[in-house]
């Protein structure tokens, strides 16, 4: 796809939950925003960054380091919790992308927001921001949080039927079957897959 086609796709209403829940685990609660806000969630922003590499669009992901939290070792977008100094979630997403993978804030062309997403395990209400990076840069991972920077072609996600049921080991004794995108050895599931599911549906609406 071309950047112009991506921008055109966002002139239409967002599909929201209808698209998100195609990649949601069956056990995920379906809460309305007003009910989520009653839970006093932490607010966060993530950057879904598109850029050209080898003459095709890619998306950057981070593989989180292993730690004691609920999202240990998972694939994610650059992003995090909204700081008091952030005027809005856009500032959060851009700041975190700079901190985690070295993307200069002033080099990102913001395209549009995706639908907000509640993440029950960590009580986060996340706002994904779609952006485009026209300049070629060398990504720099934040050593304390990022195990690996993973670059995946957009066309991978645009394939029909690419999402598939996958077994995830949550702990030594607990495993679950969830929808996921599996790219080489990288498993994208949970909130990250849900965000990608909406983006894919939006972009497919513009395909010829």
Provide the pLDDT for residue 176. Answer: 87
For residue 58, the domain's CATH number is: 3.90.79.10
Give all strands (DSSP E) within 18-160, no chain letters.
42-53, 56-64, 75-76, 79-81, 108-113, 117-119, 124-133, 146-153
177 lies in some domain: no
Provide the pLDDT for residue 207. Answer: 64
Residue 104: give the domain boundaries.
3-159+191-204
Long-range contacts of 25-31 (CB under 8 A, 24+ apart): 25/176, 25/178, 25/179, 25/189, 25/190, 27/176, 28/120, 29/120, 31/118
State the Cα angle at 186 between 183 and 190, rounded to 5°. Answer: 100
What is the number of domains present in the chain?
A: 1
101 lies in some domain: yes
69 lies in some domain: yes
Q: Tell me the average confidence (pLDDT) per consecutive run of 10 residues in the chain, 208 residues long.
A: 91 95 92 96 97 94 78 86 95 97 96 96 95 93 94 96 88 84 94 97 80
Provide the pLDDT for residue 111. Answer: 97
Provide the pLDDT for residue 208. Answer: 46
30 lies in some domain: yes
* The model's pTM: 0.93
DSSP 14: P
* Residue closest to 193 by CA, chosen among 9, 3, 22: 22
Angstrom distance (rounded) from CA 151 to CA 132: 14
Provide the pLDDT for residue 2. Answer: 86
86 lies in some domain: yes
178 lies in some domain: no
- Coarse DSSP helix, strand, coil percentages of the chain, rounded to the nearest 5 percent: 25, 35, 40
167 lies in some domain: no
Provide the pLDDT for residue 180. Answer: 95
Dig out the tokens for 30 from the structure: 């379906």
Asked whether 154 and 50 are in contact (CB, 8 A), the reply is: yes
Q: Which residues pair with 56 in a beta bridge?
A: 53
Provide the pLDDT for residue 67. Answer: 65
179 lies in some domain: no
């Amino acid at each position: 796809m071309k950047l112009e086609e991506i921008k055109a796709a966002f002139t239409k209403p967002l599909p929201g939950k209808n698209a998100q829940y195609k990649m949601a685990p069956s056990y995920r609660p379906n809460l309305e925003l007003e009910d989520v806000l009653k839970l006093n969630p932490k607010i966060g922003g993530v950057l879904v960054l598109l850029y050209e590499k080898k003459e095709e669009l890619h998306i950057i992901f981070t593989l989180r380091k292993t730690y004691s939290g609920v999202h240990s070792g998972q694939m994610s977008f650059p992003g995090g919790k909204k700081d008091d100094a952030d005027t809005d979630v856009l500032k959060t997403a851009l700041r975190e992308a700079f901190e985690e993978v070295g993307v200069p804030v002033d080099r990102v062309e913001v395209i549009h927001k995706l639908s907000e997403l509640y993440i029950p395990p960590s009580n986060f209400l996340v706002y994904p921001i779609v952006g485009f990076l026209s300049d070629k840069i060398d990504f720099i991972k934040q050593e304390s949080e990022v195990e690996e920077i993973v670059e995946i072609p957009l066309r991978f996600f645009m394939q029909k039927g690419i999402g598939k049921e996958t077994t995830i080991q949550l702990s030594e004794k607990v495993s679950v079957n969830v929808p996921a995108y599996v790219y080489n050895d990288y498993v994208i599931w949970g909130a990250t897959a849900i965000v990608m599911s909406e983006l894919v549906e939006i972009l497919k609406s513009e395909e010829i």
